[in-house]
A and B are shown apart, each in its own frame.
Chain A
């Protein structure tokens, strides 16, 4: 989702080539930036969640991954295969949009068994948290007609990472 990559240049790819070890400060700075990005993304998701009863799946699925190769080190936030399993709506929630027309009528129940009152249609106001229920004796059909507003948490995380790297660079210059 967000990736910070450092690649070394000027080395030939020969059989005698040994793996490059980057200065530990660079790796530490990259991990610190990724941590800043992750915290900012989680804070943005929490701040922009409009209804009560959020499960926290999306927030908690944002992990940090470090990938090292001979000439590169890459630190990423948000591993997409994990997100597609845990919170497959991560893309729609970030960029906003309308739910797939074929999936717009969603069966399920609200806790307290009460759907949002019709006069508040489209406002997101209502009682209870909606739980998807495929089969069952008591179900409502939630008709999703309003667009999901974008959170842009990836954008917020990206900027937090940039600010963190800039601060670290400035710190190195002063030292």
Chain B
């Protein structure tokens, strides 16, 4: 039996897969990464979009039930080249996220994690728009921190 990924990992990878596809169609030169530290690597230049799942909240589906209904918080950091690009990229991402995306079950073969397989398991939808804001670190900042934007959403799959 192939090792399946957890719900949280599936949400993160599904969102990343969807945004990577959409951004690559409409934009050029945008790098998508999954870890925050990777943004500051020397070989990665803005514009950069970092997407990762931060935390999850669990609630019982109903009183007495042992089935949990999960909500996952996804953080999207935008590192742009200019303020105009920051606004445009943020608006583009919000416009794509509002439509929802395919939720996949990811897995890899035992002993080989270089190739991921994905199976459609439903649809992910945004149930909460938490933040869509500019981050201002002032004037004397690193080039990558100069035009930053934060989008935070809560998602669930059906």
Q: Which residues of A contact B (CB under 8 A)?
A: 91-92, 95-98, 100-103, 146-147, 149-150, 152, 155-156, 158-159, 162-163
Contacts of B55 in A (CB 8 A): 156, 159
Asked if B37 is at the interface of the complex by the 8 Å CB criterion, the answer is yes
Quick one: which of B54, B73, B130, B141 contacts A97, CB cutoff 8 A? B141
Q: Which chain B residue lies CB-closest to A98? A: B142
Q: List 6 A-B contacts (CB under 8 A).
A: A97-B148, A100-B141, A147-B37, A147-B40, A155-B75, A163-B57
B73 to chain A, nearest CB (A): 7
Q: Which chain A residue lies CB-closest to B133? A: A95
**By the criterion of a CB under 8 Å from any partner CB, how many residues of chain B are at the interface?**
25
Complex Cα gap A156–B75 (Å):
11
Complex Cα gap A95–B138 (Å):
13
Mask: chain B, 28-51; 1 = CB below 8 Å from A; 0 = not = 000000001101100000000000
Complex Cα gap A159–B130 (Å):
8
Q: Which chain B residue lies CB-closest to A102? A: B140
Mask: chain B, 116-158; 1 = CB below 8 Å from A; 0 = not = 0000000000001011000101101110110010101010000
Complex Cα gap A113–B7 (Å):
46
Complex Cα gap A78–B109 (Å):
48
Quick one: given A95-B150, A98-B145, A147-B40, are A159 and B73 in contact (CB under 8 Å)? yes
Contacts of B36 in A (CB 8 A): 96, 147, 149-150
A39 to chain B, nearest CB (A): 15
Query: Are B142 and A97 in contact, with the CB atoms below 8 A?
Result: yes
A99 to chain B, nearest CB (A): 8
B134 to chain A, nearest CB (A): 11
12 further A-B pairs in the complex, CB-CB below 8 A; given A95-B135, A147-B39: A91-B137, A95-B148, A103-B140, A146-B37, A147-B40, A149-B36, A152-B54, A156-B54, A158-B130, A159-B57, A159-B130, A163-B57
Contacts of B138 in A (CB 8 A): 100
Mask: chain B, 52-89; 1 = CB below 8 Å from A; 0 = not = 00110100000000000000010101000000000000
A98 to chain B, nearest CB (A): 4
Quick one: given A98-B142, A147-B37, A147-B39, are A152 and B137 in contact (CB under 8 Å)? no
